[in-house]
């Protein structure tokens, strides 16, 4: 261990611990550092990143580990390191500030604040010497220091203007005169689909140009749009996107699981970091695609991805870790790429077919940079059926050969130096995964996935509840900390809803309702229908933001709109339904014009326009009906059942219990068709 340690040595975030032996006098965000800046009247440097961030590692090596650079930072600034995944609230605020100043953002995010915490200057990566039309990091440090000493009044004015901008940009959601529900119609959904398809890559799948992200919300909307309308273009683009992602380097062909995004249009070369939330969201999208198509490939990818998560990202206590780094041995992708001779040696007589299928050539198909030799990223350029037909092989024989080879490569790869694991467990990301496990169970019927959902939820309840009715955001090694954010709790409500559907246990719905009431009380904006990202009890931020964009993860506000729509039907709470409708009304224009950035909102709008089915099963055989019903593709539904005399307080179950009999009800807005007595008859009408 290095002789020097700074204040980060007492943290448990893997990202902060990476910087604990830098010569920079880093502090974690907290009262000690903030008071130090005020007492010494020094500007604050806030540097934000995360453990799997490639350019964060680069800037650390180039600048934060340099003693001369560190000396400048220590002399003139109070230096604070933040893990953006621990404090997404601070990341949102200061990212917005940098984007307002520079027009762009990213990580590492380096922001300079006045001693009172207001930002006045910032940027992302700065090189050690002037390059790429960017000032060097030392030039930036010296320039900011001089401005703070000589032009303090100008920085004060800049900080005031910037903080006011942040507050004003947060001031949306006030009711407009004449707001109505004319957008709640099929034509609106068709326009959303058209706007998504206008940006579609019809050759390689996905949306837009490189770098290409999975955009699972857009895919899910299009799958559902096809289900309701028969729009073949919507289905074709959704399935093309999943197929190309599954076949390329974005998907780890050897070990399962998806990387963060593709650096090219073909999904060949990913940015190799693997995030828990991406895998959860892709599992959910694949589950719906499987329900719709019953394609074996989707089932295979789901199973392999869950196996990867259990093998490489599961804490022994039961939760799932946050991320795997892109780099190993100082090189991006080294753990995941292959040499031609290496594969020939490992696979022997199977190598010829394997190499043809996965585009393994002596010259390689990817080069990290000019200083490294070309290597191969496994890339299945043809579908298995097409390849087998061209080779004159039986599908089962090809599948057997490929499985055998991939197992050999996986065993060999596990002896390599692994990428670093970000082993903190986040409530929100685990809640997304719980929902994904529910959806995979619904699609495939394997009880292992149902057990994963209920066990992970039990872990979350034990690890993140603070013992006083509240929840915490991050957990590691038995210790949870930082009050939960809106996303954490919104996703948890959604997880409770889905776990109830796969278990029939109404206690999960009661927990969902109680948690929603808590969110309304602690996060609700009293002037609009939206929710703040932070609780009303949080005091160490300069502005309470309301986040509505669906980015890499769903907007907590969008998920809350969905939750309110669902639970309003379960508990007959029209005021919750109206709140969700008000949220949708306020964002209706943005949802329609920019569905790629409001994908979960678009799905919520779709759910409402299509009028969800209310599926109710009551009686001693109710639990046996769960999977046969859930495996059907019924994307807009409320599903509730009772295998014994139901509790009061659930309108869909009231008055429906008959001893010794099982009844199946199909309803809309509490108006039900005559019940049927057999599962077969029920499946024929849903």
Q: For residue 575, which of 611, 616, 529 has the smallest C-alpha distance?
A: 529
Mean pLDDT by 10 residues, the chain (686 residues): 83 95 97 97 97 91 97 98 96 94 93 96 94 89 97 96 89 60 89 97 96 97 98 98 97 97 96 96 98 97 98 97 92 94 96 96 88 90 92 94 97 95 97 98 98 98 94 96 97 98 97 98 95 93 93 97 98 97 94 96 97 96 96 97 91 92 95 94 94
Q: What is the torsional sign of CA 620, 621, 626, 629?
A: negative
Cis peptide before 211, with omega less than 30 degrees from 0?
yes
Nearest to 566 by CA among 511, 604, 599, 524: 604
Tens-digit pLDDT profile for residues 71-100: 999 999 999 999 999 999 999 999 999 999
DSSP secondary structure letter of residue 676: B
Residue 527: how many CB atoms within 10 A of its CB? 10
* Two structure tokens written together for 541: 């931020």
21: which DSSP letter? T
pLDDT of amino acid 270: 95
Sign of the four-CA dihedral 432, 435, 441, 447? positive
**pTM of the full structure:** 0.95
pLDDT of amino acid 182: 80
Ranges assigned E (strand) in 334-465: 421-422, 425-426
487 contacts 556 by C-beta, under 8 angstroms = yes
Distance (Å, whole) CA 510 – CA 49: 38
DSSP H or E stretch at residue 18: helix 14-18
In degrees, to the nearest 5, what angle opens at C-alpha 95 toward C-alphas 93 and 97? 70
pLDDT for position 177: 47
pLDDT at 679: 95
Q: Say if residues 224 and 636 touch (Cβ distance below 8 Å).
A: yes
- Tally Cβ neighbours within 10 Å of residue 157: 12
Residue count of the chain, please give it.
686
How many whole angstroms separate alpha carbon 566 and alpha carbon 138?
Answer: 54
What is the pLDDT at residue 180? 63
């Amino acid at each position: 261990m290095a002789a020097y340690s700074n204040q980060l040595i007492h943290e448990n975030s893997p990202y902060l611990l990476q910087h604990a032996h830098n010569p920079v006098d880093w502090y974690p965000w907290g009262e000690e550092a903030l008071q130090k800046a005020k007492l010494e009247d020094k500007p604050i440097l806030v540097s934000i990143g995360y453990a799997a961030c490639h350019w964060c590692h680069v800037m650390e090596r180039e600048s934060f580990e340099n003693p001369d650079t560190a000396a400048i930072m220590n002399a003139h600034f109070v230096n604070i390191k933040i893990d953006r995944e621990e404090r997404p609230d601070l990341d949102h605020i200061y990212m917005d500030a940098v984007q307002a100043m520079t027009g762009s953002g990213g990580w590492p995010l380096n922001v300079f604040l006045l001693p009172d915490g207001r930002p006045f200057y910032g940027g992302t990566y700065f090189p050690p010497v002037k390059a790429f039309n960017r000032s060097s990091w030392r030039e930036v440090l010296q320039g900011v220091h001089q401005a703070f000493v000589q032009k303090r009044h100008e920085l004060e004015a800049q900080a005031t203007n910037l903080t006011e901008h942040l507050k004003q940009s947060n001031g949306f959601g006030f009711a407009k005169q004449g707001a109505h529900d004319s957008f709640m119609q099929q034509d609106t959904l068709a326009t959303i689909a058209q706007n998504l398809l206008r940006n579609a890559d019809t050759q390689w799948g996905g949306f837009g140009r490189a770098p290409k992200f999975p955009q699972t919300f857009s895919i899910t909307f299009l799958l559902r749009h096809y289900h309701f309308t028969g729009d073949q273009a919507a289905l074709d683009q959704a399935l093309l996107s999943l197929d190309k992602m599954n076949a390329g380097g974005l998907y780890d062909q050897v070990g399962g699981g998806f990387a963060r995004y593709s650096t090219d249009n073909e999904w060949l070369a990913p940015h190799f970091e693997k995030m828990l939330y991406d895998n959860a969201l892709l599992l959910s999208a694949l589950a719906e695609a499987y329900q719709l198509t019953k394609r074996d490939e989707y089932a295979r990818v789901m199973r392999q991805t869950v196996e990867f998560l259990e093998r490489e990202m599961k804490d022994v206590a039961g939760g799932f870790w946050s991320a795997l780094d892109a780099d190993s041995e100082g090189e991006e992708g080294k753990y995941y790429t292959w040499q031609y001779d290496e594969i020939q040696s490992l696979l022997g007589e199977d190598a010829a077919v394997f190499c043809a299928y996965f585009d393994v050539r002596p010259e390689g198909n990817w080069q990290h940079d000019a200083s490294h030799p070309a290597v191969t990223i496994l890339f299945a350029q043809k579908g298995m059926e097409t390849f087998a037909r061209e080779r004159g092989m039986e599908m089962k024989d090809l599948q057997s050969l490929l499985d055998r080879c991939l197992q050999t490569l996986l065993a060999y790869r596990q002896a390599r130096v692994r990428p670093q694991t970000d082993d903190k467990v986040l409530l929100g990301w685990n809640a997304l995964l719980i929902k994904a496990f529910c959806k995979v169970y619904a699609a495939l019927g394997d009880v292992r996935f149902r057990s994963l959902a209920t066990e992970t939820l039990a872990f979350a309840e034990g690890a993140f509840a603070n013992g006083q009715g509240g929840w915490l955001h991050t957990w590691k090694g038995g210790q949870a900390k930082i009050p939960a954010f809106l996303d954490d709790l919104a996703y948890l409500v959604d997880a409770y809803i889905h776990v109830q559907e796969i278990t029939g246990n109404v206690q999960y719905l009661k927990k969902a309702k109680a948690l929603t009431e808590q969110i309304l009380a602690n996060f609700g904006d009293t002037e609009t229908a939206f929710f703040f990202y932070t609780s009303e009890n949080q005091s160490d931020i300069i502005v309470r933001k309301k986040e509505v964009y669906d980015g890499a993860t769903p907007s907590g506000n969008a998920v809350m709109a969905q939750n309110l729509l669902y639970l309003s039907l379960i508990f007959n709470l029209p005021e919750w339904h109206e709140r969700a409708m008000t949220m949708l009304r306020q964002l209706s224009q943005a949802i329609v014009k920019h569905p790629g950035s409001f994908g979960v909102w678009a799905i919520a709008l779709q759910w409402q326009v299509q009028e969800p089915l209310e599926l109710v099963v009551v009686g001693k055989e109710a639990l046996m009906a769960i999977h046969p019903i859930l495996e059907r593709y019924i994307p807009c539904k409320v599903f509730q059942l009772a295998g014994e005399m139901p509790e009061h307080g659930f309108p869909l179950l009231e008055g429906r219990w008959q001893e010794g009999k099982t009844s199946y009800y199909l309803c809309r807005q509490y108006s039900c068709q005559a019940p049927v007595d057999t599962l077969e008859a029920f499946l024929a009408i849903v």
